[in-house]
Amino acid sequence: MGFLNFIGLIVVLKFLVYFVLFFTSDTDLELWFYDKFKRNFDSFKGKVVWITGASSGIGEQIALNLSKYGTKLVLSARNKDKLYQVKNRCIDLSEGKLTANDILVLPMDVTHISKHNSLFDNVINHFGKLDILINNAGRSQRAIWEDIELGVDQELFDLNVFSVINLSRIVVRYFNQVGHGQLVATSSIAGIIPAPFSASYDATKHALHGYLGALRLEKLHTNIHITLLCPGPVFTNFLKESFTGRPGEKYGLTHSPTDNRMSAERCAHLSCVAIANKLKESWMAKFPFILILYFSIYCPVIAYKFYELIGYKTINKLRDNQ
């Protein structure tokens, strides 16, 4: 076999592997590798991790996962009672690795940015350090583009962007002082490619990639790491709590157990793999979302022809299983 034939065979085998993984995996290829061969969960032991949006959904499941490895936790959300429920479950799951003092319940509305400094001080006063901040709080949206009132755009940016950036800047300044740390944000596949009927939400997630992508480049030669988590549809109350086109209104749609969604537990597990290995950006979703994402990025002309063929309303139905 000649050298060029050998190279051609390798390329064909590579694409065959990719093809199989696209249809069987629920992650991008990098995250798939680390999940299978290098989870590195022991690195969480003794770390202090602050999670916003920790009272339910992905944030709650990340907290439960981390508690198994002896991670000291700061749990934040608006609902104090639910946070204490999560705390008690974390203590039980830790099997003696954590005590009540190792989990700080810190109720907060992330949009009240004037309180961020004092809340951060509470974390440092309690634990003496912070190793990882996971910005998980946020809401989605469903609305027709031209029907969205400007107040909705402002509320979504306050919650999904400005609260994240303000708290992150406080924490990154601290990381600069101590010389290390990790900043994590829950974005979305909609932060990479736009999804129909979610314009304001899409914009907020794209904004996170812009803000934190720039920060990642600025910290290339430091021990400060930036991780963006990009899930697709997940079994949470996310859709029910979504914004619409009018301020103060909730979408209110509930999902069915038969929907094509990833479980919050699986999403949290994959998120922990990405965080433990300090991956820069990780995608997680059930088939066919990862395949669509790869085609949209690497073959955009083909992807748009596909969208034109099936229509954006079909894409929206696929996303929300309506």
Q: In whole angstroms, give the CA distance from residue 132 to residue 275.
A: 9
Distance between CA atoms of residues 138 and 71, nearest Å: 23
Assign 277 to helix, strand or coil.
coil
Could you give the CA distance from residue 157 to residue 161 in angstroms, rounded to a whole number? 5
Q: What is the DSSP letter of 245?
A: S
Other Cβ atoms within 10 Å of 193 Cβ, number? 17
> Which parts of 179-239 fold into alpha helices (H)?
199-218
Q: Give the span between the Cα atoms of 202 and 138, in whole angstroms.
A: 12
CA trace torsion 19, 293, 261, 245 (10° rounding): -160
Tokens coding 128:
């003496």
Complete DSSP assignment for 84-118: HHHHHHHHHHHTTS--GGGEEE----TT-GGGHHH
Look up residue 78 and give its two tokens.
Answer: 């608006």
Give the tokens for residue 154: 């402002």
For residue 181, what is the enclosing H or E element?
strand 181-186
Q: Which of 294, 20, 10 is nearest to 302 (CA)?
A: 294
Tokens linked to 113: 């940015």
Contact between 276 and 43 under an 8 Å Cβ cutoff? The reply is yes
Which residue is catalytic, options 69, 201, 211, 251? 201
Active site residue 201: yes
Q: Could you give the CA distance from residue 154 to residue 149 in angstroms, rounded to a whole number?
A: 9
d(C-alpha 318, C-alpha 204), whole Å: 22
Task: List the catalytic residues.
Answer: 201
